[in-house]
Structure 1
């Protein structure tokens, strides 16, 4: 499977999971500390809008950052979490469709354009589908509504693990991770949040 296949499959999985929630279920906690499912659905919607800004940057060559600031991102999520459930459902669907259409329409030459992620990494636009795949797959699990990592394609699981390990090694956790993964430590290292 390709990243594009994973993106389509996991977007569908996340949206079906959202659609399977009763309205009252949106107020329940997600698997992310301090976030309800409302927060998580709002975040997934605003993430699609943020990635659409990167696609626009790639298409036009005009810088268009994902977020103006961390504060702006956090405020969007908090404000979005207070919207009516029907609005949240509609937004998460419409932004997913719009991002998909934007990616499908991106000209071949635009995929090489460098853009900047929310974490400040400069990457080619070819990374945008992976960034979204990671969001929708992990957050489908984070909704705590019956989806597990075992429900994701094996190739995607490997890609996610490689991505996570790369970030953890870059953050200085390599020795502790290798110690634990090779059975030289009984306890997993304390890593803190990732996504």
Structure 2
């Protein structure tokens, strides 16, 4: 579930800037070190974000030409691109991020109204209009800006992004119905979200940014679950 197109494009631009801010805040040595993502260094995160821009640019080509151009040539290509990319020198990785993001932005800017409506296929196999491409990119640059472990945290991401991310993940988790039922009650926002799942819904309260972190499988602080011993939060399966 993507936000309306104008907001998606604005958030993508802001997220690209935030990712670059995070990337500039870490040294080359820190980039080679581990992150909170199991098995991934900062170089893995950076290579993934750069390769993702190139993969989404394939969907832009599909939207522009009408010729099927998948994100990846095979299911294994995504992982292979990340592993190979993570061996690059840090200077090359930083330039790859900048160049691939600029190319994607230019490609999206070239689409006309009809091309924006053309359907393309995501890496998960969903057919979506090209208007969803900016949101697909927004999720990557925003969330991974935090994963780099530099100067950007979840609280630094825009509130509009947190709300849109919760809309997206709640819809996905509710559709799967393979986890706990949840009622998400931000302490700094009037909106509420309900996740369909097993058992009676557990109410989780806290800042909107931390609820977004929790639902996306990242470390969240300052949250409490009503009725849970020691405030333990229900365990969640992988989101994406």
Same fold? TM cut 0.5: yes
Matches within 5 A, 1:9-158: 9-158=14-163
Classify the secondary structure of the residue corresponding to 1:180: strand
- Structure 1 runs of 4+ with >4 Å offset: 182-185
Deviation of residue 69 (structure 1)? Answer: 2.2
Unmatched 5+ stretches in structure 1: none
Which one has the largest radius of gyration?
Answer: 2
Deviation of residue 181 (structure 1)? Answer: 2.4
Unmatched 5+ stretches in structure 2: 1-5, 184-200, 205-224
- CA RMSD in angstroms comes to 1.6
The number of residue pairs the alignment matches comes to: 195
Classify the secondary structure of the residue corresponding to 2:151: coil
Match of 2:173 among 168, 171, 174: 168
Deviation of residue 43 (structure 1)? Answer: 0.1
TM-score (norm 2): 0.77
Deviation of residue 66 (structure 1)? Answer: 0.6
TM-score (norm 1): 0.94
CA distance in 1 between partners of 2:179 and 2:118 (Å): 31
Cα deviation 1:130-151 (Å, max 9, x = unaligned):
0001110011011111311111
Q: Which residue of 2 aligns with 1:180?
A: 202
Question: RCO greater where, 1 or 2, for CA within 8 Å and sep 6 or more?
Answer: 1
Question: Once structures 1 and 2 are overlaid, which stretch shifts more, 153-162 or 22-31?
Answer: 22-31
User: Which is richer in helix?
Assistant: 1
CA distance in 2 between partners of 1:5 and 1:17 (Å): 19
User: Which is richer in strand?
Assistant: 2
